[in-house]
Homo-oligomer: A and B are copies of this chain.
């Protein structure tokens, strides 16, 4: 009946509910060689080295989180070691790292000189070496470009290193000229660039074609400096002042103007933070003009209002959060990201209560609550369906960054990155369960409904939360691999 080892599966997961947009199928899933080898209503006839009973729980593809900022406050190696565990805990199996070139090095330092912006071709080998040795999840690089020299390297980066996505920190365009010395700027080493730099990059990306894409952080700090001065002079110090400092149009304006350049250069555009309806409106306008625009929002913009903390771009008010959920449900927002960063210090060392100006911006460890919050606030509160969650957290980011269908979906031939979710599990978030070395989460005390309890990376368990334990366990050694995208292929060629 069976013809032996040749067809033997490494693993079969039975009694699962596979979330394959637009719906859910009761099915088993078989894994061999790290890939999904079979999907079937009954695979019990197939020999398998190991069987996992999903007990009717949902099986999702591993989350593809397109936005993580490692090596900002610590060495890249240290962040790889600790933060990729946090990523696993958040359901992430593929991590998009948005890094400046100087931060990719073996030792952490603060950067002071434009000379630190070395070519990415020089540092990607370091990234691969550190990542392949220390990362618990697969990862790809979105170079955070900042100089003409760096963007002129784009064709080589795409061809040689499979780096096909490139990000501009538009708020830092003028470097310190806008708001003076900004701490993170010194830490990551961006010294200012201009629209010429953006244009060169977009031109390269447009010519190279899919899967190349340009990502932008849209936020016009030249206008923000005016707002900030006004708010300070008014004596405002509350957290919501940070939202008012960066009014909606300041984000939307950048989308409008760079969507125009994208049109001129035939360059696809990825909006890293879509946090306002005005931005959504500009994205729709641009699409109507024929520009390919993909929009991401951070899950924190969906879950946290502007009274909670300080971050760039700012958290918004509750009315806006509602609109963002609706835009996501409707299809105007495509992707979710964590925007993860680790400051490496406790909350008390960052936050100055009652003074938003003195508080350090950007709460730590966003990735760890990614999937729980999306399940609890999104699916279980009826704002999006579970298949839609898989689209925005897995499928669409994989498509946007040239990894689909290798990553982002449940399909024979794809990587067996799997997340088993107990949609009814209730779990309060607390310090002791965190993997990030920052040691705190802005979500502490939230009781979530829905939790990922088993995460597999390419067919092998990487994280599991045993029923009686108080936290998840990371399983095994770092097995994460650098993901080189394939130039010339809008979709990742599985057979190649």
Contacts and interface: CB of A to CB of B under 8 A. Distances in A.
A313 interface: no
Interface in A410-430: 411-413
Contacts of A220: 195
A494 B22 CA distance: 11
Contacts of A20: 411
A35 to B, nearest CB: 8
Interface in A367-382: none
A1 B47 contact: yes
Interface residues of A, number: 64
Nearest to A199: B223
Interface string A468-496: 00000000000000000000001101110
Interface string A223-258: 111100000000000000000000001001100110
A126 interface: no
Interface stretch (A37-45, A59-67, A342-350): A37-45
A30 B40 contact: yes
A146 to B, nearest CB: 14
Nearest to A254: B257
A420 B260 CA distance: 45
Interface string A193-235: 0111001100000000000000000001011111000000000
Contacts of A44: 2-3, 6-7
A430 B260 CA distance: 45
Given A22-B405, A195-B220, A225-B196, A37 B37 contact: no
Interface string A166-186: 000000001001100000000
Interface of A: 1-3, 6-9, 18, 20, 22-27, 30, 32, 35, 37-47, 148, 174, 177-178, 194-196, 199-200, 220, 222-226, 249, 252-253, 256-257, 260-261, 264, 284, 288, 404-405, 411-413, 490-491, 493-495
21 contacts: A1-B2, A2-B2, A2-B44, A2-B47, A3-B45, A7-B45, A8-B45, A25-B411, A25-B412, A30-B40, A32-B41, A32-B42, A37-B42, A40-B412, A178-B194, A196-B222, A199-B222, A249-B260, A252-B260, A253-B257, A257-B260
